[in-house]
Structure formats: structure tokens, C-alpha cells
Amino acid sequence: MRTAFCKTLYEIMSRDSRVYALTADIGFRNFDEIIAEFPDRFVNVGVAEANMMGIAAGLALSGKIPFTFTIAPFVTMRCLEQIRVDLCYQHLPVKIIGAGGGFVYGPQGTTHHAIEELGILRTLPGMTVLCPADPVETEKTVLGSMSLEGPSYIRIGRNNEPVVTDEKSPFKIGKADTLRKGEDVSMVTCGLSVHNCLAAADLLALEGIHASVINMHTIKPVDKETILRCAEETGCIVTVEEHNIIGGLGSAVAEVIAEEIHHSIPFKRIGLNDVYLRMHGSYDDLKQEFGLDIDGIATAVRTFVEEN
């Protein structure tokens, strides 16, 4: 997704001279093409995320469209108040790209994981929060962010993620994609969990549990219509995300269910249960340990369906 982001950014910069690429010293070789072709519009601000957001705000106030890039926890939480005051309060079209969202940086440890940022950024007025599922959707998301007047956050992974979306399928910010239809349960998910949910749905189908899989690539504004349709069609919903179950996609979906559906429906949030991972291991090891691998998700959904 990192490569897809940089390739897309290069294309955007080729046709729009207002676009700037900013990094806080992350992305070795990723920006080579941009640096070679647009040296005046590439800025490595150094290891200084707060300053990067201020610089981006200043550029935006002077008519530029900056993309700010570094590892997800640093580009969001280290400089949260700059995002709030400089970008959201002033409603500036700065795009924030968080690489390695969730715990993709597995063995690097908790400092390099972002399991809270979707929820935190979701509370900022005017902020759009996006979480594409794969490199193909990353490209569409980055392109789509150009039409936003205010600030946006795009959580991406690292590299070589499996492609689960269709190159030709339409993409619209705020409009979820139904990737699989089933009648027993709706799995609403985002980001890298989309792949695991699709695979989990395959496993469940063998057991006679038919799940819909919804790619909710836009966490904010969340697609109410699709959530309500899921509730109607399957009568129960689970959310799956590489995030604390507090604040992120699960909370966004829960808010819609609580406010818009006037009868009780079974609902469950699958994610990190308000814990830091505190364990070293590969990304796959961590997913398995915390129940976000294919088997873990399938087990949780199976239990949920059986109990309801």
C-alpha cells in the first residue's frame, strides 16, 4: 500500500502543481521518483511531526495541497493538537497518510502500532477518516481525497498486501462496498481486516453460515444506509477491525445501530479488547494471538451467530 500511495501521489503531483509531499523522515526510497521529478515540492521536515502539520497548514493557507506521511501513530497522535487546531479548526485540505496502521509493524512493538487513531481522529470535526483495504483501493482513496475540501486521514498498511477489491469497481468516499452477500450475519470491516473477513466468510460458508462482508473503507462519514440495510438483510452485525474496540469502526457502527434502529439486534465488536499488544512477534503471530487472523475471526463470528 505504501508503494501504491507513492505511485499515486507521483501521478497526482504530475498533473497538479499545488500538490506537495511531506514526510517526517520515513519512506526510504519510496519517494525517489517524486524527489527526482519534483524536488521543489518534496519536503522532508525531519523527525518533527508537529512541525510537519504546521508546515502543511502554512502551505495549505498559501494555496497548496500537502500530503503528510509517516508511521501511523506518529502522524496522528504525536501531533494531534496541530491536526485539531491547524488543520481541522481552519478546515484545510491537508491529507494525512498513516503507514503501518493497526499493528502491521508487529515486531517493532507497541510504539509503532496505531490501534487508537481511527477513533481519536473520528472525533475531530471536519475530519474524514479513511481506511482502504489493499493497494488497489489505496490508489482510489488517495485520488478520492483530492476532492475533499477539509482534512483527511488515510490509514494504509506496508507493502505486498493481498488484493481484495476490484480495480474496476466504483469507489466513493462515504459509500461502503458489499464484497460478499450472505443472509446469516453481516461482517462490517475495514483495512487489512477485509481480507481476513473474506477468508473467514469462506470457512463459515463451509459450515453453513453465510456472511455478508462489507468493506467500510470510510470510517467517517460512516455509511448509515449500508449499515441499516445489513441490519435488515441479516438481522445481526459484527464489526472487525485492527483497532481498539473502543472508538473505531465498531463504535461508529454501534452509534448508527443505537440511534437508527428501533428494535434490538445482535451486535458484536471484534478487535483489540482495550489492550496494548505487549508481545513481540510477527504480524501474523500477533493477529493469531489477538484473534484477528482468519481462524480467530471465523471462531468469533461462529460463536456470535450460535449464541444469537
Partner 1 sequence: MLNNQPIRETDINSLKKLAQTLRKDVLKMVMASREGHLGAAFSCIEILTALYFNVLNIDPLQPDWEDRDRFIMSKGHGCFAQYAVLARRGFYPVELLESINQKDTLFGGHPDRDKVPGIDVSTGSLGHGLSIGAGMALADKRDGKASRVFVLLGDGECQEGSVWEAAMFAAGNGLDNLTVIVDANSLQAIGKTDDIIPMEPFSSKWKSFGWEVREIDGHDYSEILSAFNNTLSTPSVPTAIIARTVKGKGVSYMENEIMWHARAVTENEYKQAVLELNEGTSF
Binding site for partner 1 (CB under 8 A): 40-41, 43, 45-46, 48, 50-51, 53-64, 81-82, 85-86, 89-90
User: What's the grid cell of residue 151?
Assistant: 482534512
Q: Which is nearer to partner 1, 91 or 172 (CB)?
A: 91
Shortest distance, position 71 Cβ to partner 1, whole Å: 17
Minimum distance from residue 44 beta carbon to partner 1 (Å) = 10
Smallest separation, CB 153 to partner 1 (Å): 19
CA distance 254 to 238: 10
Dihedral class, residue 237 (left if φ above 0, else alpha if ψ from -120 to 50, else beta): beta
Residue with Cβ nearer partner 1 (51 or 288):
51
Between CA 195 and CA 255 the distance in angstroms is 25
CB of 190 to partner 1, least distance (A): 31
Taking the least distance from each CB to partner 1, the nearer of 61 and 163 is 61
Cell of residue 86, nine digits: 491547524
Residue (40 or 259) nearer to partner 1, CB: 40
Render the burial of 138-155: b for 16+ CB within 10 Å, e for the rest.
bbbbbebbbebebbbbbb
Measured distance CA(135)–CA(159) in Å, rounded: 8
Nearest distance, CB of residue 87 and partner 1, angstroms? 10
**Closest separation between CB of residue 28 and partner 1, Å?**
20
Q: Whole-number minimum distance, CB 220 to partner 1, in Å?
A: 22
Nearer to partner 1, 63 or 208 (CB): 63
- List strand residue ranges (DSSP E) for the chain, in order: 19-23, 42-44, 65-71, 95-99, 128-130, 152-155, 177-180, 185-189, 211-215, 218-220, 237-244, 267-272
Number of Cβ within 10 Å of residue 183's Cβ equals: 12
CA 223 to chain CA centroid, Å, is 14
Which lies closer to partner 1 via its Cβ, residue 61 or residue 275? 61
**Distances, alpha carbon 256 to alpha carbons 120, 237, 267, in Å:** 18, 12, 12
Q: Contact, 68 vs 96, CB < 8 A?
A: yes
- Which C-beta is closer to partner 1: that of 40 or that of 307? 40
> How many residues in the chain?
308
